[in-house]
Amino acid sequence: MLYFRLFAWSTIIRTAGPGPLLFLLLCLSGCQPAETPQEAPAPDKAARLEWFRDAKFGMFIHWGPYSLLAGEWNGRQVPVGENAEWVMQKLEIPREEYRTLAGQFNPTRFNAEAWAQLAQDAGMKYLIITAKHHDGFAMYDSEVSAYNITDYTPFNRDPLQELAAACRRRGIRFGLYYSHREDWDEPYAYGNTWDFNFNPPDSLALFEQRYLYAKAKPQVEELLSNFDSLAILWFDRGLYTPEQAREFINLIHNRQPWCLINGRVGNYDQELLGDYQNMNDNGMPPGGIEEYWETPQTLNETWGYSRFDHNWKSPAEVIEKLVTVASRGGNYLLNVGPTGEGVIPEESVKVLQRVGEWMSNNSESIYGTTGSPFLNIPWGYCTVKENRLFLHVFEPPENGSLLLQGLTTNATSAYLLVDPLQKLSFSQESAVLRIALPPTLPDTINTVIVADLAGPPRVLPPVIRPDKDGAFLFDHYTAQTFGATAKRFNRKGKYHLSKWTAPSDSVCWYFEVEQPQSCELSITFAAQAEWAGQPYVICLDGEEIRAKVVETGDWYEYQTFLLDTVALRQPGKKKLTIRPAEGLPQYLMYFKSMELKPL
């Protein structure tokens, strides 16, 4: 990391109406003109996201001509651990040869009812399937491009319409994946470097004219017309400019105002766009994300079907990942990769059936819940619904007693979720809740204990302890945020604090000092050129440190700056706060962390 000392400003201080003919007809008939029906107001982001927040669990499906190849072409294999749906790119299959292979795609065993029923039985509330992946092949009846499953293959059916109808009958929300930037079938799209000599950033005008506005945007318009009430349009690989992304966002929200758009619609290197954010593929945040988010994960190591990949997750792994995501406030989008014949692999079916058994007894602890107020729980996880804690026990303590540290709201009862009549004894003292577990837990993977409270859970903020070198780290995970400040994720796989523009938007931490000491205080952040010079205030142990933001380069290019030397004169509990010094026209910075290092 780069270190700079900030001396310059660092100090220790504190329509036209009815026509004549219509008017005449109204008068002659003696009728009063009917009131013009008012168009329903467009939903705001919070309203669009309400169902998504409650759903928690969805099915992702990667399916296309690549499924027929099953991870192999001409005796060459896509290695296990890599994505089989990328077979065209990874093995550099010539465009015309891949088209010939796509023409043989004939998934005669496809059964939309069976797929939708599997999702329902597993407890999944929404389903997203690939309408067009990076290979450029449309898995629906497209008028924009004849390179689609109904016109180009002997199958001659629209499987996505069939699946949408099957989902609708079961109350499962239906969404579509669309690869809007990358298309290996198109000379002027991104990705195919073995057939075409074109790099879109070298000529965004050609990219837009020959591909984006000739195929991608018209196909998205087509999907909005052909599929009513889409729950989500799920984009991938991000566009080049915010303007390009906003064109897609505006198109979708104008045509289907309730349709959600995921965060991958925009440039990964810039400010996040869309209604909610996605983690990296198979990603899992440590917790503390204060925006709507979803993690796409897959049941083995590939997304599209590979006959070589047998590294299946166990039901226990899937249940723990689902609970982990819910306990951290997110949604779990779990992928299956059907075969070229149109069959979901038996291994996937068995895993989802076992997950469904667990959900049939415990779904109340997942749907409609919010994240855990506790940072770390050694025996499992916690989800919350109003005045109720759901305690997910994956590793029962040997002493048979669950411990919850820091809970100041009084508990009123404790019992098994699957058997509310089986009350459990508990005690609560000095913000510590103890619940006695029954001798035998009813579920071998995850037993859920319910703790009802007298009100919403209130939990003491964490107290940060020094590491082995005596240093204190203050990051997004342990931060307490106020005002508009939010803990966020970026597509570089990092986490930071942002959205703060006023003195009321602040962040604080508590830490414990054992003895008086002098320390160096440093800060790590990323900042754009236009953010440079914005003032901020750090309050520490009764003193203020004032500094200004420094440009760091790229959007997520974090750099570390040495602020000052501070004296911690008394041992005990301390509070560290940072906030904008004044109202700002844009975000203060992308804050990653601060560190106190003893001298």
Q: Of the ranges 8-22, 107-121, 246-260, 325-339, which one carries the lowest mean pLDDT score?
A: 8-22
Segment holding 495, helix H or strand E: strand 494-498
Contact 272, 266 (CB under 8 A): yes
pLDDT in tens, 505-530: 999 999 999 999 999 999 999 999 99
- One DSSP character per residue, 144-163 reads S-S-BHHHHSTT-S-HHHHH
Catalogue the long-range contacts made by 161-167 (C-beta closer than 8 Å, 24 or more residues apart). Answer: 161/226, 161/227, 162/110, 162/112, 163/112, 163/115, 163/116, 163/127, 163/129, 164/227, 165/112, 166/112, 166/113, 166/115, 166/116, 166/117, 167/116, 167/119, 167/127
- Reply yes or no on whether the pLDDT at 19 is more than 90: no
**What length does the chain have?**
599
Q: Is the pTM of this model over 0.75?
A: yes
Region 126-150 average pLDDT: 99
- Reply yes or no on whether the pLDDT at 7 is more than 50: no
- One DSSP character per residue, 466-494 reads --TTS-EEEETTT-EEETT-EEEEETTTE
Instruction: Return the residue matching tokens 């052909």.
Output: 226
Vertex 303: Cα angle to 301 and 322 (nearest 5): 75
398/317 Cα distance (integer angstroms) = 22
Region 297-322 average pLDDT: 98
pLDDT in tens, 450-476: 999 999 999 999 999 999 999 999 999
Q: Which of 505, 511, 541, 507 is nearest to 523 (CA)?
A: 507
pLDDT in tens, 105-115: 999 999 999 99
Residue 535 pairs with which residues in a beta bridge? 548
The token pair that represents 516 in the structure block: 């008086």
Residue 564 pairs with which residues in a beta bridge? 521
- Reply yes or no on whether the pLDDT at 16 is more than 50: no
Reduced to 3 states (helix: H, G, I; strand: E, B; else coil), residue 124 is: coil
pLDDT in tens, 367-385: 999 999 999 999 999 999 9
Residue 293 pairs with which residues in a beta bridge? 277
Contact 185, 214 (CB under 8 A): no
- Reply yes or no on whether the pLDDT at 359 is more than 60: yes
**Domains contained in the chain, CATH given:** 45-71+98-362 (3.20.20.80), 380-453 (2.60.40.1180), 461-598 (2.60.120.260)
- Reply yes or no on whether the pLDDT at 545 is more than 60: yes
Across the chain, what does the average pLDDT equal? 93
Region 261-275 average pLDDT: 87
Region for residue 325 given its phi and psi (left: phi exceeds 0; alpha: psi -120 to 50; beta: otherwise): alpha
The token pair that represents 107 in the structure block: 């998934």
Q: What is the pLDDT of residue 4?
A: 39
Contact 460, 573 (CB under 8 A): no
Cβ neighbours of residue 521 closer than 8 Å, sequence gap 6 or more: 538, 540, 545, 562, 563, 564, 565, 566, 594, 595, 596
Q: What is the pLDDT of residue 15?
A: 35
Cβ neighbours of residue 8 closer than 8 Å, sequence gap 6 or more: 548
Region 135-148 average pLDDT: 99
- Treating both helix axes as pointing N-terminal to C-terminal, what angle do 315-327 and 346-362 enclose, rounded to 10 degrees? 50
Q: Which of 537, 544, 545 is nearest to 582 (CA)?
A: 537
Cβ neighbours of residue 355 closer than 8 Å, sequence gap 6 or more: 122, 123, 315, 318, 319, 322
Region 256-267 average pLDDT: 95
pLDDT in tens, 202-218: 999 999 999 999 999 99
Contact 245, 267 (CB under 8 A): yes
Region 541-547 average pLDDT: 93
266/244 Cα distance (integer angstroms) = 8
Q: Of the ranges 29-43, 99-113, 140-154, which one carries the lowest mean pLDDT score?
A: 29-43
In percent, how much of the chain has pLDDT > 90? 89
- Reply yes or no on whether the pLDDT at 26 is more than 50: no
203/264 Cα distance (integer angstroms) = 22
